[in-house]
Amino acid sequence: MCVFVVYVVYMLIQQQFDIKDRQLELVMLQQQVEQQRLDNKEMERLLASDNEAYIERLAKDEYGYAYPDETIYIDTSGN
């Protein structure tokens, strides 16, 4: 009987540690979700503003796009 009680107490303590770990993980995931929502709202705002200059800069800087008649020079001197 004593062994059974010790086992049950051990399992309860182990479950409490697991619960705390899961709660911490849940808080971290909720923070990530909230950050992603903020990022999405910012993107929606930028897309809704129809800011052509922003879209052009993003296409050039991030994706390397250029106009068909445009020549792009890359400075490799390191200055």
Q: Three-state SS string across 15-79, please? A: HHHHHHHHHHHHHHHHHHHHHHHHHHHHHHHHHHCCCHHHHHHHHHHHHCCCCCCCCCCCCCCCC
In this predicted structure, what is the pLDDT of residue 61? 84
Residue 7 lies in a domain: yes
Residue 72 lies in a domain: no
**Domain housing 36:** 2-63
Domain count of the chain? 1
Q: For residue 79, what pLDDT band results from cuts at 50, 70 and 90?
A: low
pLDDT tens readout for residues 12-69: 999 999 999 999 999 999 999 999 999 999 888 877 776 777 788 888 888 888 888 8
Residue 69 lies in a domain: no
Residue 39 lies in a domain: yes
In this predicted structure, what is the pLDDT of residue 52? 79
In this predicted structure, what is the pLDDT of residue 37? 97
In this predicted structure, what is the pLDDT of residue 76? 85
